[in-house]
Amino acid sequence: MLNLNAKPLLPLEPHVADNKQHSLSAQYLESYESDLLAMWNYLRASADEELSCKNLRIDGKAYPYGQCYQISTWVLDAFPRILSQKAKVQNTQVRSGLDKIETFLRAGGEIRRIWGDLRGEYFQNALQVGSYYVDVSNDTVDATKPPVEILPFNQAKIFAIKDFNHFADMGRRYWKREFYANTVFPQLAPLLPLFSVGAQGDIRFEGNDYTLALASENNFALSKEAIESFPQLSKEWVEILACYFKDSKYEFVATADFTLAQKACIDHANSPPLSYKEYFNTSTMSLIEINKKLEKIKLTGEIK
């Protein structure tokens, strides 16, 4: 039965598949595990060919470490092109898997990228294919694991991030970073309430499509809570940032006071939908631009 009161999914949100997706998965995917595994491994190998040449390093470690986002995004983006060229694929098992997925999609099956808390161990980007969890970057933390993992979704144990405390708890365990309230860019605080700082003093805004959407839930209540409860950047750190952002187009406030950030949350909660959409798009660009500038900064002193 359709639940008219069901909460709309946030971008990238993991969720239990509905009855339609369960039915389609059982009909078109369930009996073809080996063909589908061969197909996903083929797609992952194709991603490796392109991405490994870019020499991107995460935490100083070579591909594929830490590149679950890059790999899963590449696979999903390349999927339509590879489907359209499946006749050129020589491996019959891979071609059979592509046939099964194409039939599944034509019948109304869904493939979407998801991101969340995987088994309480780390953040993970993966794909949700009907009622299945498909991780095409399964070896990006532990290189001894196979590159692809396919599981029924309810066995995968990937969970949506509930709030910014949940996000920070995962980030401390997985990234070894500490988290601080954003009170220095108050106009961005409603959607970008947190900074994180690494052991070497590197600092960045934290956010992706999911966390930005999560921040806006319930009139920015989660952001307001984070701004009020997380520690603020030290006076010394704010002074370092002020040197870089004193002439910035972004409003920078070099005070240890969260009232302006609080007020911004309240103001944007009352803004009309069009203004909010523009604010969301602007904040996404600000996240990218400010983080690029923050890459040049090393904070000094003790990390709490």
Nearest Cα residue to 164 out of 122, 183, 186, 192: 192
- 6, pLDDT greater than 60: no
Q: Report the mean per-residue pLDDT for the chain.
A: 91
Q: Render pLDDT for 190-228 as a digit per residue (tens, 0 to 9).
A: 999 999 999 999 999 999 999 999 998 888 999 999 999
pLDDT band at 266 (very low <50, low <70, confident <90, very high): confident
The per-residue pLDDT for 19 is 96
- For the chain, the structural domain boundaries read 19-159, 164-294
The per-residue pLDDT for 277 is 75
Q: Render pLDDT for 34-83 as a digit per residue (tens, 0 to 9).
A: 999 999 999 999 999 999 999 888 888 899 999 999 999 999 999 999 99
From the CB of residue 268, how many other CB atoms can be counted at a distance below 10 Å?
22
| Beta carbons of 116 and 159 less than 8 angstroms apart | yes
- 5, pLDDT greater than 70: no
Cα–Cα distances (Å) from 198 to 22, 169, 177, 278, in that order, read 42, 14, 5, 31
Percentage of the chain beyond pLDDT 70 is: 94
- Tell me if the pTM is above 0.85: yes
Q: Render pLDDT for 245-265 as a digit per residue (tens, 0 to 9).
A: 988 888 899 876 789 888 888
Mean pLDDT of 178-182: 97
The per-residue pLDDT for 182 is 96
pLDDT band at 1 (very low <50, low <70, confident <90, very high): very low
Residue 151, strand partner residues: 133
pLDDT band at 144 (very low <50, low <70, confident <90, very high): very high
Give Cβ neighbours of residue 270 (< 8 Å, ≥ 6 apart). none
Percentage of the chain beyond pLDDT 90 is: 76
Nearest Cα residue to 110 out of 196, 173, 23: 23
Q: Render pLDDT for 103-129 as a digit per residue (tens, 0 to 9).
A: 999 999 999 999 999 999 999 999 999
The per-residue pLDDT for 103 is 97
